[in-house]
Chain A
Amino acid sequence: GENVEQHPSTLSVQEGDSAVIKCTYSDSASNYFPWYKQELGKRPQLIIDIRSNVGEKKDQRIAVTLNKTAKHFSLHITETQPEDSAVYFCAASWAAGTASKLTFGTGTRLQVTL
């Protein structure tokens, strides 16, 4: 299987500042790394993902970086806004049998204060 560690568990930033969440994984065969955002009482929703052949990917204010050698990847949110407040989960893929499965980190609660 796969083991994913995520830090920090909570993060508080002021509106307009940047936020960085870091994850490490154990299985060198992992090749897909999604990030999910979960608002209170809602389902996790994919916000960005990266595959092992790419080092960085951006989508407006969010970006993800991947270092396969060190087996870690990070989520960067710039110019944070109150609506960015949520729990963020990283995940890493692993394969057994016919399906690619995801192992999730334990989540980071991001609070953006005014």
Chain B
Amino acid sequence: DAGITQSPRYKITETGRQVTLMCHQTWSHSYMFWYRQDLGHGLRLIYYSAAADITDKGEVPDGYVVSRSKTENFPLTLESATRSQTSVYFCASTEGSGAKWDTQYFGPGTRLTVL
């Protein structure tokens, strides 16, 4: 589990501010994902990436931007934070090949509060 990390672990910001959440994995996994977790909604996919420089929208992408210039990093940016983006954000990765290619491994999460 130490192979995928997120920073910061906790963040408080104000409405309208730009915030970037970091995700780093040391497994050289091809695929990386960003989810948000809210009570009553489970885990919802925001964005995902199949490889460096390849990203695509998930279920709830509005208000978020991602990039992936290096395989190991997948930052998530809230361009202008809103209160509705208060949530716990999880990054995940998967190998993308072989028998276990579907299994996703989660980072420890970032708890974001937007005031």
Residues of A within 8 A of B (CB): 1, 6, 32, 34, 36, 42-46, 49, 89, 91, 93, 96-107
Contact = CB atoms under 8 A, between A and B. Distances in A.
A6 B42 CA distance: 10
B50 A99 contact: yes
A97 B47 CA distance: 13
Contacts of A93: 102
A95 B2 CA distance: 28
Interface residues of B, number: 29
A89 B43 contact: yes
Contact of A34 (B40, B50, B102): B102
- The binding surface of chain B is classed by DSSP as strand
A101 B45 CA distance: 9
Interface of B: 1, 31, 33, 35, 40-45, 48, 50-51, 54, 56, 58-59, 90, 94, 96, 101-109
B90 to A, nearest CB: 7
Contacts of A46: 103-105
B109 A43 contact: yes
Contacts of B35: 104
A105 B1 CA distance: 23
A89 B42 contact: yes
